[in-house]
A and B are shown apart, each in its own frame.
Chain A
């Protein structure tokens, strides 16, 4: 009798929650097309009276947004590519290559996960200052070139590769590197995609470390540039919303197009309890 009521209730609540989740993002998109000053009026308008690209033009022409966008793309791509290489090799070694102390070393790495990354940041800054990498792309990239989480993820997945396959290749005289690139990597393809999205999103959204290591505007990534713009242009909500759109849209679209891989990785990474 009351299943119909329950159905309305469940779907109604879901609609409400989806609205709360999406409204700020839709509002951002709408305001980014408003004329300067339009959003600061009462009642607050929901849609632009005359949609305009003026804010985007202003951002790219005068605020250097194009540069920051390229910086973000460059840094995130580099971190993704390099960390993939390191994590794949290490994860495979932990899963399939035998060596003394393998389990203990892996346990030590997992144990190190409890240390918050920020503990390392102060000496890391001094180290990079010493080797001259402060305020450079490399300064942002270098600490992200390998992650314990990534190694863990690859190891979990690579353990499913049958040992016979690798043994057969060894008997056929294939070298270890050939086995890795020609047999193992194709089998790891799903986890490679997953890890790539994860790394890219994390690098793109990262805030604290780039904020610390990038001291000059020319190397700013989008979040750092946006935070600094927000302090300068606190009144220009339309301009700031356009900046937020430029920052958020690339990762949101990436997620939407590869959502299945991302969510799988999230679950794979969380079942260590």
Chain B
């Protein structure tokens, strides 16, 4: 009897906070996305009208939404594989018995993860400055013409992707490194006795054993990368020519610059649906891959 009451006493502060400041707003966001909540409604709630799915319908006919979506998919589709590739490569290097002073390298490679996005994005803005940036200076030494990194619509997103990879790869590196260390050493031992080369060991032992880790890392990274916001906010302000406007950037501008909170809620919900669907697809793909693996001898 009283044990149950104790439990609820212990739970209540956290549940109250999460309920009031997370669950309730999420439900309200769904309701909000079905209204035309704007500056007039903000001033006087009587101006609020129910518009059903009008906001969603309008969004699907708005070129800016599609370019924001396209930019975000570009960022995810290129950024996630590069990010995870860098994480895997550095984890493999750190796990190599040949590597020296591992604690130093691990800390050095992880350092960008704990830094503040805004602060390091500011650094990158100067490093990639067309005229005085170190990057173009280095390229000039190699005989390559200066590139207008952040002011050229073709280069702005790649620069942001490079930044995101640099900033984030250390996080997954630690997780993958732990996954590598969990692979039993006698598997490699047996393979060596059978005369399997290092690449074959990697392909037939390391990768399959790492699969659950990689799947989890992929899902978390995809979900995280869809939430692109601070990088374009600081580095490009969505430009040039709106080439770096992300879905969240659009939500922020619609909601807190133009105060179209109804429209912005619809944007937020669409993003949620997209993340959810992509995550489910990844899971399904992984499960199908497993079945194929299981079928083969």
**Interface hits, A1-25 → B, CB 8 Å:** 3, 6-7, 10-11, 13-14, 17-18, 20-22, 24-25
**Interface hits, A125-165 → B, CB 8 Å:** 125-127, 142-143, 145-146, 148, 151
A74 at the interface (CB under 8 A from B): no
Determine how close the nearest CB of chain B comes to the CB of A134; give it in whole angstroms.
11
B272 at the interface (CB under 8 A from A): yes
| Bound: A263/B102 CA distance, A | 15
Interface SS majority for chain A: helix
Segment at the B interface, from A47-55, A56-64, A185-193, A250-258: A250-258
Are A243 and B119 in contact (CB-based, < 8 A)?
yes
Closest to B90 in A: A17
Are A10 and B96 in contact (CB-based, < 8 A)?
yes
Interface 1/0s, chain A 258-269, versus B by CB < 8 A? 010011001100
Are B26 and A244 in contact (CB-based, < 8 A)?
no
Are B6 and A85 in contact (CB-based, < 8 A)?
no
Instruction: Give how many A-B residue pairs fall within 8 Å (CB-CB).
Output: 271
Residues of B within 8 Å of A256, CB to CB, are: 107
Interface centre among B24, B131, B255, B268 (most CB of A within 10 A): B268
A182 at the interface (CB under 8 A from B): no
Are A14 and B229 in contact (CB-based, < 8 A)?
no
User: How many residues on B have C-beta within 8 angstroms of the other chain's C-beta atoms?
Assistant: 91
Task: Decide yes or no: A122 and B133 within 8 Å by CB, A21-B109, A114-B279, A180-B10 being known contacts.
Answer: no
B174 at the interface (CB under 8 A from A): yes
Are B114 and A119 in contact (CB-based, < 8 A)?
no
Are A119 and B269 in contact (CB-based, < 8 A)?
yes
Determine how close the nearest CB of chain A comes to the CB of B140; give it in whole angstroms.
9
Closest to A19 in B: B108
Determine how close the nearest CB of chain A comes to the CB of B184; give it in whole angstroms.
17
Task: Decide yes or no: A17 and B109 within 8 Å by CB, A222-B116, A244-B120 being known contacts.
Answer: yes
Determine how close the nearest CB of chain B comes to the CB of A90; give it in whole angstroms.
4
Interface centre among B7, B90, B110, B133 (most CB of A within 10 A): B7
Are B111 and A118 in contact (CB-based, < 8 A)?
no
| Bound: A89/B252 CA distance, A | 34
B139 at the interface (CB under 8 A from A): no
| Bound: A184/B96 CA distance, A | 40
Are B13 and A121 in contact (CB-based, < 8 A)?
no
Task: Decide yes or no: A114 and B275 within 8 Å by CB, A14-B105, A17-B93, A42-B132 being known contacts.
Answer: yes
A-B contact pairs, 28 of them (CB 8 A): A10-B93, A10-B96, A10-B99, A14-B99, A17-B105, A21-B108, A21-B166, A27-B127, A85-B13, A89-B10, A90-B10, A92-B10, A118-B268, A119-B25, A120-B21, A121-B25, A145-B17, A204-B116, A208-B229, A211-B252, A212-B252, A227-B118, A237-B126, A241-B122, A251-B114, A256-B107, A266-B171, A273-B213
